[in-house]
Structure 1
């Protein structure tokens, strides 16, 4: 999959620090979202397969997710204590349709409570997550996903 990233955003292919692989970084946010290729991991049974209808459905890890936001990057975020599906269905990622959901996330540190959006392409095994969703960030992610091409 190829995307046009939002201006000022970089994709972290690899990282020395756990939790930063696949992050979309900007000057003001260490991990605005993630784009993860889960082909190998999904076949191994070592992850939770993403789901738009289960609690923490955006999180493929088997431990508890953390509440990422502009002031709470993967190294400092508090643990998520709950999530509720606000909306789910299908949404475009370039020419494909992804399983989509918006969740509200509650955190040990309530100041980090936020909303998370996810797109899961089950055939391609690609997971896209937007952390701490806001209207501006939503628009930037939507534009980015419209640009997706596959080949």
Structure 2
């Protein structure tokens, strides 16, 4: 065999040995590092004594110029997905026109004294049709951070039947904080439950 063939054979043998070592090193069963996935979080807001972290991309309007969007949580094209309201000042005024939130009355999620409206993703405040019915389908207590809130879920019918929807409410009577989720469905339900589960209080 020529010298050139001997050199080629030696180089080939070294490549095979190195390749085999590399393969065996990766299959020995050693634990591979798992990438850490950090859940993204949006801004933190204060509603009365409650602090919550919004979903990424969500926005909270504490006060709007016309008052229609006060306390609204919005995302994307949805102008008022939910309301988070501090009612301490309103409930302390004996002359304020307010119905206290309660799961014991048909429109218990609505604090106004006028006709309730059917706020949904397609019918924001100011454009929503009149609510014609509100039937309680679930009630009890639900967690808001370390606290328990009075909870209710209503099936709401509307003058414009395309706006029929479900509404969820959390009411903290001591903290005077009201949370109302409009046009409730599975995706938003999970999001609101997560948001409220992470609530803290000062």
2:38 aligned with 1:19: no
Structure 1 SS opposite 2:52 = coil
- Tell me how many residue pairs correspond in the alignment: 151
Deviation string 1:75-130 (CA, Å, 9 cap, x unpaired) is: 21101111010000000000000000000111000000000000000000000000
Runs of 4 or more above 2 Å deviation = none
Task: Give the TM-score, by structure 2 length.
Answer: 0.73
TM-score (norm 1): 0.97
Q: Would you say 1:148 and 2:199 are equivalent positions?
A: yes
Structure 1 counterpart of 2:77? 28
1:10 pairs with 2:59 = yes
1:64 deviates by 1.1
**In the alignment, is the contact (CA less than 8 A) between 1:6 and 1:141 conserved in 2?**
no
Structure with larger RCO (C-alpha < 8 A, sep 6+): 1
Query: Aligned ranges for residues 105-116 of structure 1 at < 5 Å?
Result: 105-116=156-167
Alignment of 1:59-138 (within 5 A): 59-138=110-189
Deviation at 1:18, TM superposition (A): 3.0
Partner of 1:143, secondary structure, is helix
**Larger Cα-atom Rg:** 2
Return the structure number with greater helix share. Answer: 2
Shift of 1:28: 2.2
Which moves more between the two structures, 112-121 or 62-71? 62-71
1:19-44: per-residue Cα shift (whole Å, max 9, x none)?
Answer: 21000011121000000100111122
1:49 to 79, 92, 100: 100
**Structure 2, gaps ≥5 residues long:** 1-49
The alignment yields a C-alpha RMSD, in angstroms, of 0.8
Instruction: Report how far residue 12 of structure 1 moved.
Output: 0.2
